[in-house]
């Protein structure tokens, strides 16, 4: 079916507000990743889901960031009390994680959500 | 401390010539490497990969070379085309540790001049 989709594509919010970003992975992909790309920077890993569980949350920048995934599909990244330094493009990727075989864990990226915190 | 480095933030190449994008890594546990291409306002797209059991992988105009002893890999594009102009990210992972995230480099912006 379709590739990874993310919504909204753009979000402008005021400092201190909460925002929720959504990611719909490719159907059947068990692994889901969140990254962010700040202006002029590379991709910064945030969190990874295998199914509904996130074994490694150490990449989240602060406790204002949280993510969940339900039903092994859609994931939401929530940023509470947004700050200006949270402004970035937030990218979601999914991969088919099965044992063995090259390319099975290649990540397929969504178009991203551009977050601007005023 | 960056585990994956792309020391050239930008590169300009004439159409038809070879583009060489370099990537260095520090984690000796990395054994699977990928290159992604990213156009403005789009997510990165997978380009080519290589596992540590190989030192070269070729796909059309794109060839990736891996030098494990030097912890260095490079992406060669030949001949370069204007449509290749994009940001190229190198990424690495411990492939057989499926709970491990991919580590991306900061990217190199390639401009292919007509």
Q: Give the pLDDT of chain B (114 residues) as one tens digit per residue.
A: 678 999 999 999 999 999 999 999 998 988 888 899 999 878 888 899 898 889 999 999 999 999 999 999 999 999 999 999 999 999 888 755 544 567 889 899 999 999
CA-based nearest residue to B9, from B106, B111, B112: B106
The alpha carbon of residue B50 is apart from the nearest alpha carbon of chain A, in Å, by 9
| Rounded-to-integer distance, Cα B50 and Cα B97, Å | 16
The alpha carbon of residue B43 is apart from the nearest alpha carbon of chain A, in Å, by 4
Mean pLDDT calculated for residue range A11-25: 97
Mean pLDDT is lowest, of A66-70, A74-78, A97-101, for A97-101
Which of B51, B103, B104 is the closest to A102 by Cβ? B51
Q: A42 in contact with B at a CB cutoff of 8 Å?
A: yes
The alpha carbon of residue B87 is apart from the nearest alpha carbon of chain A, in Å, by 10
| Rounded-to-integer distance, Cα B105 and Cα B24, Å | 9
Pair of tokens at residue A19: 């925002």
Q: A33 in contact with B at a CB cutoff of 8 Å?
A: yes
Q: A107 in contact with B at a CB cutoff of 8 Å?
A: yes
Tens of pLDDT, residues B8-30? 999 999 999 999 999 999 989 88
Contacts of A83 (CB under 8 A, 6+ apart): A15, A64, A117
Q: How far is CA A79 from CA A16, A52, A103, in A?
A: 10, 19, 32
Radius of gyration over every alpha carbon of chain B, rounded to an integer in angstroms? 14
In chain A, which residue's Cα lies nearest the Cα of B47? A106
């Amino acid at each position: 079916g379709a590739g990874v989709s993310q919504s909204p594509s753009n979000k402008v919010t005021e400092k201190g507000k909460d925002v929720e970003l959504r990611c719909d992975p490719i159907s059947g992909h068990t692994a889901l990743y969140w990254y962010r790309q700040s202006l002029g920077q590379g991709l910064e890993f945030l969190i990874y889901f295998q199914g509904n569980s996130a074994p490694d949350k150490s990449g989240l920048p602060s406790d204002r960031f949280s993510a969940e995934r339900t039903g092994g599909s859609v994931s939401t990244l929530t940023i509470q009390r947004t700050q200006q330094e949270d402004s970035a493009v937030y990218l979601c990727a999914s991969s088919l994680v099965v044992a063995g075989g090259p390319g099975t864990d290649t990540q397929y990226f969504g178009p991203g959500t551009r977050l601007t915190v005023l | 401390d960056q585990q994956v480095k792309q020391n050239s933030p930008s590169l300009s190449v004439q159409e038809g010539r070879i583009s060489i994008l370099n990537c260095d890594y520090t984690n000796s546990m990395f054994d699977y490497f990928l290159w992604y291409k990213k156009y403005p306002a789009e997510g990165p797209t997978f380009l080519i990969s290589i596992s540590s059991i190989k030192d070269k992988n070729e796909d059309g105009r794109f060839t990736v070379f891996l030098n494990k002893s030097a912890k260095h890999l490079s992406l060669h594009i030949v001949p370069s085309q204007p449509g290749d102009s994009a940001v190229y990210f190198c990424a690495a992972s411990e492939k057989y540790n499926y709970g491990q995230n991919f580590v991306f480099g900061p990217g190199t912006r390639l401009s292919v001049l007509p």
